[in-house]
Chain A
Amino acid sequence: MMRTFRPSGLDELFSACAEAPGSILLAGGTDVMVDVNYDRLRPDTVIDLRRVHELTQIERSDDVLRVGASVTFARIGHELAVELPALATAARTVGSPQIRNRATIGGNVGTASPAGDALPVLLAMRASIELGSVRGVRRVPAREYFRGPRDTVRASDECVTAVELPVGRATAQQFSKIGPRNAMVISVASFCLHVDADRRRVGTGLGSVGPTPLWAVDAEQFLAERLFEDGASASPTDDTINGFSELVGQASLPIDDHRATAAYRRHVLVAMARRTLTWAVADLEAAA
């Protein structure tokens, strides 16, 4: 017999997670119910997050935007388009309107699929993942959160409660995703670029091209040096664009599967790196 917890606040949620570690944490259900419908999952214990009001909040401080785990992709696409354009763009590529009305950012983070659409954005933006339990709340850098395919540092009694992203004025954020059509596709490859002129740094996030979402350290350093060194010109040269995109491609670890070959994935990743850099530079020039 399946047990169901219906906590109505964070304290009740954390107690339930402590009482039944390893439970299915049910938010929108768009991942969980597929496995249930196909008899791949018969959960012993479900913790229904719907009544935990705190998880549905979007909060702003001076330089951080905190998005509660139960905020849907529909809301992110509508409400955060100005402040977090890459995250909003990624949100609008998730599934279909029906899916986006239910699927949540916390679910994407909790499931931790290498193809999770929001995850490259969290890596590129150097977001933090907030994990809560009866033991307290901790913030894990997104770049330390993923361990393997659908495997993370989240403990069995912890729940994803929010993600925190930096906000700033002089930043460009671009997201691109490749799939067979515009709607209802699991990405063949995706890429997010964050050019942060305030903090003089570059962030990248690579989706569906490795066992976890990845980032490209060498490409980030290369581009930051070219863009932010004293005396550097605002517009990157062709050498910079090509060098950056090649380094992004080299950071990927794609495989052949039923959705695409490794070679195709790397090819489109390089193309997306080149395009997003061109778009980002145009954004920065328009802002300046």
Chain B
Amino acid sequence: MSIELRVNERRHQVDAHPWESLLSVLRDHLGLYAAKGACEQGECGSCSVLVDGELVCACLVMATQAIDMEIVTLEHLSLDPLTGAIQDELVDTDGVQCGFCTPGFVVAIRSLLHRYPDASDDRIDEYLSGNLCRCTGYSRIIDAVRNVRDRERHTL
């Protein structure tokens, strides 16, 4: 069925299966590969995107339900300075190893620091609890978030 979706501030006409997930539409129809497909059950956070400003797993959103919603992926978020600072810091702290989970983490971290520039350490842990990383053991990712928070909070 043909549906119109608003992704990264542009309208796209997509011929999707009626039950297809937003993740599959983003990747297979629109060529937006930042959101990754891994668990397909909302447990890993690799497919994190913003829908109407809220952090969600694209694999659990039926694409037809996202008509009229504002969908933003990392491809678009990367244009803002906060996202850039998060990406640079993840590289500097070795918060990136195999890299598969990284785009999902960046979207979640950007959502966190955009909403809570002064996020406490507990808030950081809780906010990122839906994103799995099998390489870093998390501490370097958390270090990166704290560093960005400590540096950027006065400028946000």
* A and B co-occur in one complex: yes
**Cross-interface CB contact of A38 among B41, B57, B129, cutoff 8 Å:** B41
Report the Cα distance A207→B31, complex, angstroms: 43
**What is the minimal beta-carbon distance from A185 to any residue of chain B, in angstroms?**
10
Contact in complex: B56, A36 (CB < 8 Å): no
Q: For A50, give the chain B residue with the smallest CB separation.
A: B65
Instruction: List CB contacts (< 8 Å) of A9-47 with chain B.
Output: 26, 28-30, 32-34, 36-38, 42-43, 46
B55 CB contacts on chain A under 8 angstroms:
97-98, 101
Report the Cα distance A208→B41, complex, angstroms: 20
Total A-B pairs, Cβ < 8 A: 86
Contact in complex: A33, B59 (CB < 8 Å): yes
Q: With an 8 A cutoff between CB atoms, is A183 at the interface?
A: yes
A4 CB contacts on chain B under 8 angstroms:
18, 64
Contact in complex: A99, B57 (CB < 8 Å): yes
Q: Looking at chain B's contact residues, is the secondary structure mostly helix, strand, loop, or mixed?
A: mixed
Most buried by A among B57, B60, B62, B131: B60
**Cross-interface CB contact of A98 among B40, B56, B126, cutoff 8 Å:** B56
**Residue positions of B touching A, CB distance < 8 A:** 18-19, 21, 40-43, 45, 48, 54-57, 59-62, 64-65, 108, 126-127, 129-131
B126 CB contacts on chain A under 8 angstroms:
97, 183
Contact in complex: A99, B42 (CB < 8 Å): yes
Contact in complex: A33, B43 (CB < 8 Å): no
A184 CB contacts on chain B under 8 angstroms:
43, 129-130
**Cross-interface CB contact of B130 among A43, A50, A98, cutoff 8 Å:** A98
**What is the minimal beta-carbon distance from A229 to any residue of chain B, in angstroms?**
41
**Cross-interface CB contact of A37 among B40, B64, B65, B130, cutoff 8 Å:** B40
Q: Return 16 A-B CB contacts under 8 Å, by A number.
A: A29-B62, A29-B65, A33-B60, A34-B41, A37-B40, A42-B19, A50-B65, A95-B42, A96-B45, A98-B57, A98-B130, A101-B55, A102-B56, A183-B129, A183-B130, A184-B129
Known: A29-B60, A98-B55. A36 touches B65 (CB 8 A): no
Contact in complex: B19, A95 (CB < 8 Å): no
A38 CB contacts on chain B under 8 angstroms:
40-41
18 further interface pairs, Cβ-Cβ under 8 Å (given A98-B55, A183-B129): A1-B18, A2-B18, A33-B42, A36-B19, A37-B41, A42-B19, A50-B65, A74-B54, A96-B42, A97-B126, A97-B129, A98-B57, A99-B42, A99-B130, A102-B56, A102-B60, A102-B61, A184-B130
Report the Cα distance A95→B45, complex, angstroms: 11
Q: With an 8 A cutoff between CB atoms, is A151 at the interface?
A: no
Report the Cα distance A98→B41, complex, angstroms: 12
Known: A4-B18, A34-B42. A101 touches B65 (CB 8 A): no
Contact mask A169-202 → B, CB, 8 Å, 1/0?
Answer: 0000000000000111000000000000000000
**Residue positions of A touching B, CB distance < 8 A:** 1-2, 4, 26, 28-30, 32-34, 36-38, 42-43, 46, 48, 50, 74, 95-99, 101-102, 182-184
Q: For B3, give the chain A residue with the smallest CB separation.
A: A4
B60 CB contacts on chain A under 8 angstroms:
28-30, 33-34, 99, 102
Contact in complex: A33, B64 (CB < 8 Å): no
**Cross-interface CB contact of A36 among B43, B45, B57, B62, cutoff 8 Å:** B62
